[in-house]
Structures are given as structure tokens and as C-alpha cells.
């Protein structure tokens, strides 16, 4: 019996199949029969290397913009590594493996079953950290994932690892075991938290062309989700989530609210999922991507997101939603909050300037005084001197009118804003035009003028 690996799309023959013994021989015959009835182009523990066979890929592979994907067939006890070259999926490696002693889907800790689903390697263990049972290296997998937990499945320490003893089928307690040479080769294709490891009872092989229509359908759904996030529409977004969907609703809604507030103030935000991977399992599909936002032209990376999708009545919905680095999304929310507070402060100051003008025109000196900080200074005058000076001006002038144009608000430092505008002053005695600058600071959550500047342009 011959064994093959695939590297650079070519199979390399491996001459050590005898060690697998008679149990593998029986499994081989069963595999041949099973492959024939399912149109599986890979038979037994060997491989069909014809062009027709290579045109078939696991139907779990839909889109993979970067890196590699590992697909494991529990029935055939085989592991495949694929890479997407921008046009099609290419098989890069293939070898035998060994899964749990007991058949079926893992349900609970200690049942000696290998889970089935889409997982990711989350931790690497080198040889010096392992006992001999785990061989030369190991990768801890992300079992149970969010849907496993929802279904009540438990257990931990599901690893893909090597072994120091001869490999035979169904010999692990739930892990995926490989020969030490194979785990070393496979490790070159693995990136922690990125490389999907898809474990199936048996692989459903399909023509490569089949994935294209499914890719378009799923990409359209993800784009729709992203567009709604960009609009900040919480209620519309809710319609894309299943009734019992698992996700951080508080965090998701905080982001949506901040986005909606930003757009209300005239801010600009763009969001596009980057490096979208689409992976299919019998029970669900995973869309994984990096969240990239631009806020008023400045880029922000908000972490990797995974949407666990299911289809119901021909419509996709989100069954689970997780963020690998939630702190990055929290940082984006904080940026939006600060930006929105700045916008709100701008609006507050604009409103204050309008009221400041109205109180001066009407001669309401008590109201006028309320806009100033107690430590106000202007050309050697303190607040009392300033108010006395302004009161005298108002007493000597009638029909005071103040027009403002080109009002601009800018930040000076934390808790301080500057309002600059062209002021046109008219009264019964004088008229002038110049640039007025009001310096505001936040005192007990109220904006107060602590300094003024006036530069005359013309005088009449």
C-alpha cells in the first residue's frame, strides 16, 4: 500500500505504509467502496493524481485569501493542506492521521471522540514542553467553539500533535495525531489564530466550480452586514442575527451607536472587511475577516471577527459572533466616543456664542457675565473690571448689533476650545469689523470664556 504527500502540487511517495497493519488494510477497502459511492476522488490511503481528481476539492473550502487551510477526514483518517492561489485551491500536502478511539462527534470531556467543526490553532507547544505521547510538537485547537458551547458540548485539550509510537487509526483520546515528520511538515503551513482546521466525519468532494456561487452568496451577506454596521443601524442589524445568537450585544450596539452619532455630526466613517475567509461545515459556515475602519480619513484596525452563519428558509443569519481581539474594537469605540464628544463640545460652544451675542445686544449684563470664568483676564482687566467696562459701553451706545461669520471651533488642549470668527459690530456711535477669538475652558461641565482676543480690520 502506498502513501503520498503533496508538496508544490506534486505527490511524493512514502514507503512506510506497512506499519499501519491489517486494520488499515480493512479501512482501505472500506474507504475504496465509500469513495466510489460518494464520488470521492481520493481513495483509501493512497491518492488519485489524475487531473480529474485534482479538479475536486473539499466542499468546505470556499474562500481563503491568505495562508492555508487544513481539512481532516475522520473516516479516511487523512489530513489535507490546501492553499488558494488567487484562482483555485491547490493541494499542498496530504498524509495519514489518527483521531479518537470512539467514532462520532465529541459531546463531552473524556468520551475519546474527536470533535467535528471549524477550529483554529491557538497555542503551540514545542518538544521540550511535551511528554512522549505528544511527539515532537503540538497545537492546541479552539475547541469548543462558540456553537459547540451553545450546543452544550464540552471538553478541552483537543490538540493536533505528533507521536513517538507507531501511528495506527483511531488511537487518540480525541486529538489528531500525526507522525513526528508529518507534524513538522504541516507546522510550516500553520499560523496561530489564522489557519482554519476543518474536521469532518468524511470530506464531501465537489468540483472546484461549485464554490463560486456559494462564495458570491456569502460575500453578499457579509457586505450587507458591513454596510449596516457602517450606518450604525442597530435595529436593522438585529434582523441579521438569529433569535438565540451568541455575541457581545453590548459591545456591538455601543459601536453602532457611536457610528450613528459620528455621522449625525457630519463625520465620515468607512468600513470594509479585509481578507475575508469563507469556510463551510455540515452544520454551519464561518466568515472570518479583519475589521478595518477609517474615521474622518484616519485608519483604525479593529481586530479579527468571525461570524458563524446558518441558513434558514434560504436566508443567512448569524448564529454566533466573536472578536479575537476585543480590546482593539474597544479602542475604536473610545476613539469614536472622544471624536463625538469633540463634536458635541463644538455644538455646545457654537450655541454659547449665539447666546453670548444675544445677551450683549440686549444689554442683559447678568446673563452676559454668566459666560465668563471667574479668572477671566483681558488687557489687565479682571472679570469685575471687564463687566464694568462693558456695562459702560452698553450705556453709551444704542441699537447694538453684532454679526458673526465664518465661526470655527478648534481644540487647544484637553478641556479647552477656541472659537474664532469675523465680528461685525454696529451701534449708534460706532461700527467696526475684526477677528474675535474666544478661549473656552470646561469648568464643572460648563464652557466658560477665560480669555478674549480682538484684532481690528477696519474702522468707520
Which of 324, 352, 375 is the C-terminal boundary of a domain? 324
| Residue 443 and residue 371 in contact, taking contact as beta carbons nearer than 8 Å | no
Looking at the structure, tell me whether residues 193 and 215 fall in a common domain.
no
Which of 158, 177, 207 is the C-terminal boundary of a domain? 207
Looking at the structure, tell me whether residues 286 and 173 fall in a common domain.
no
Looking at the structure, tell me whether residues 448 and 310 fall in a common domain.
no
Residue 425's nearest CA partner among 406, 404, 407 is: 404
Question: Domain holding 39: CATH number?
Answer: 2.40.440.10
Per DSSP, the three-state class of 384 is helix
Residue 334 within a domain? no
> The domain containing residue 435 runs over which residues?
339-459
Residue 331 within a domain? no
Q: How far separated are the first and last CA of the chain, in Å rounded?
A: 105
Question: Domain holding 304: CATH number?
Answer: 3.10.450.50
Torsion of CA 112, 113, 114, 115, to 10 degrees: -130
Looking at the structure, tell me whether residues 320 and 359 fall in a common domain.
no
Q: What does the DSSP 8-state code read for residue 75?
A: T
Residue 62 within a domain? yes
Give Cβ neighbours of residue 206 (< 8 Å, ≥ 6 apart).
Answer: 56, 57, 58, 59
102, three cell numbers = 470512539
What integer pLDDT is reported at residue 112 of this predicted model? 96
pLDDT in tens, the chain (460 residues): 333 333 333 333 333 333 333 344 444 444 433 433 333 444 333 344 444 445 799 999 999 998 999 999 999 999 999 999 988 899 999 999 999 999 999 999 999 999 999 999 999 999 999 988 899 999 999 999 999 999 999 998 999 999 999 999 999 999 999 999 999 999 999 999 999 999 999 999 998 788 888 999 999 999 999 999 999 888 899 999 998 999 999 988 999 999 999 998 888 999 989 999 999 998 899 999 999 999 999 999 999 999 999 999 899 999 999 999 899 999 999 999 988 888 888 888 999 999 999 999 999 999 999 999 999 999 999 999 999 999 999 999 999 999 999 998 887 666 788 999 999 999 999 999 999 999 999 898 789 999 999 999 855 4
Looking at the structure, tell me whether residues 355 and 450 fall in a common domain.
yes
Query: pTM of the predicted model, to two decimals?
Result: 0.73
CA 243 remoteness from chain centre:
22
Looking at the structure, tell me whether residues 243 and 316 fall in a common domain.
yes
CA 193, 196, 198 angle in degrees (round to 5)?
140
CA distance 283 to 393: 80
Residue 422's nearest CA partner among 367, 357, 362, 358 is: 357
Looking at the structure, tell me whether residues 184 and 241 fall in a common domain.
no
Residue 35 within a domain? yes
Per DSSP, the three-state class of 279 is strand
Peptide bond into 144 cis (omega under 30): yes
Looking at the structure, tell me whether residues 107 and 225 fall in a common domain.
no
Residue 329 within a domain? no
Give Cβ neighbours of residue 196 (< 8 Å, ≥ 6 apart).
Answer: 64, 69, 70, 118, 119, 120, 277, 279, 286, 288
| Orientation of helix 326-362 relative to helix 249-264, angle to 10° | 40
Radius of gyration of the chain measured on its C-alpha atoms? 34
CA 280 remoteness from chain centre:
19
Q: What does the DSSP 8-state code read for residue 114?
A: -
Looking at the structure, tell me whether residues 283 and 359 fall in a common domain.
no
| Residue 245 and residue 320 in contact, taking contact as beta carbons nearer than 8 Å | yes
Looking at the structure, tell me whether residues 218 and 257 fall in a common domain.
yes
| Residue 53 and residue 41 in contact, taking contact as beta carbons nearer than 8 Å | yes
Please give the tally of structural domains in the chain: 3
Amino acid at each position: 500500500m502506498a502513501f503520498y504527500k503533496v508538496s508544490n502540487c506534486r505527490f511524493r511517495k512514502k514507503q512506510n505504509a506497512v506499519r499501519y497493519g491489517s486494520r488499515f488494510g480493512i479501512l482501505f477497502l472500506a474507504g475504496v467502496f465509500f469513495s466510489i459511492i460518494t464520488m470521492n476522488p481520493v481513495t483509501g490511503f493512497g491518492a488519485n493524481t489524475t487531473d480529474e481528481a485534482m479538479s475536486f476539492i473539499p466542499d468546505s473550502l470556499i474562500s481563503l485569501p491568505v495562508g492555508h487551510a487544513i481539512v481532516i477526514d475522520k473516516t479516511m483518517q487523512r489530513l489535507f493542506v490546501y492553499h488558494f492561489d488567487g484562482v483555485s485551491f491547490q493541494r499542498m500536502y496530504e498524509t495519514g492521521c489518527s483521531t479518537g478511539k470512539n467514532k462520532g462527534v465529541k459531546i463531552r470531556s473524556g468520551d475519546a471522540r474527536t470533535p467535528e467543526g471549524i477550529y483554529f490553532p491557538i497555542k503551540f507547544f514545542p518538544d521540550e514542553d511535551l511528554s512522549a505521547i505528544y511527539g515532537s510538537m503540538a497545537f492546541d485547537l479552539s475547541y469548543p467553539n462558540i456553537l459547540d458551547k451553545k450546543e452544550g458540548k464540552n471538553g478541552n485539550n483537543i490538540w493536533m500533535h505528533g507521536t513517538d509510537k507507531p501511528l495506527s487509526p483511531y488511537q487518540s483520546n480525541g486529538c489528531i495525531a500525526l507522525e513526528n515528520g508529518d507534524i513538522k511538515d504541516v507546522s510550516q503551513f500553520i499560523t496561530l489564530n489564522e489557519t482554519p482546521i476543518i474536521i469532518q466525519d468524511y470530506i464531501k468532494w465537489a468540483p472546484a466550480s461549485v464554490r463560486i456561487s456559494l462564495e458570491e452568496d456569502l460575500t453578499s451577506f457579509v457586505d450587507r452586514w458591513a454596510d449596516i454596521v457602517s450606518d450604525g443601524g442597530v435595529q436593522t442589524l438585529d434582523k441579521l442575527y438569529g433569535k438565540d445568537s451568541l455575541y457581545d450585544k453590548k459591545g456591538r450596539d455601543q459601536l453602532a451607536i457611536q457610528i450613528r452619532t459620528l455621522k449625525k455630526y457630519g463625520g465620515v466613517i468607512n468600513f470594509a472587511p479585509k481578507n475575508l475567509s469563507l469556510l463551510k461545515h455540515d452544520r454551519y459556515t464561518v466568515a472570518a475577516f479583519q475589521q478595518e475602519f477609517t474615521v474622518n480619513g484616519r485608519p483604525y484596525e479593529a481586530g479579527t471577527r468571525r461570524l458563524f452563519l446558518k441558513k434558514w428558509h434560504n436566508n443567512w443569519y448569524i448564529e454566533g459572533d466573536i472578536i479575537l481581539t476585543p480590546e482593539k474594537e474597544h479602542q475604536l469605540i473610545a476613539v469614536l466616543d472622544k471624536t463625538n464628544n469633540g463634536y458635541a463640545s463644538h455644538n455646545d460652544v457654537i450655541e454659547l456664542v449665539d447666546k453670548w451675542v444675544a445677551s450683549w445686544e440686549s444689554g442683559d449684563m447678568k446673563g452676559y457675565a454668566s459666560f465668563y470664568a471667574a479668572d477671566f483676564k483681558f488687557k489687565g482687566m479682571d472679570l469685575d473690571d471687564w463687566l464694568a467696562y462693558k456695562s459702560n459701553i452698553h450705556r453709551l451706545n444704542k441699537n447694538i448689533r453684532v454679526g458673526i461669520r465664518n465661526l470655527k471651533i478648534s481644540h487647544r488642549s484637553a478641556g479647552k476650545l477656541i472659537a474664532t470668527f469675523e465680528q461685525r459690530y454696529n451701534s449708534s456711535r460706532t461700527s467696526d469689523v475684526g477677528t474675535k477669538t474666544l478661549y473656552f475652558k470646561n469648568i464643572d461641565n460648563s464652557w466658560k470664556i477665560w480669555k478674549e482676543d480682538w484684532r481690528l480690520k477696519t474702522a468707520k
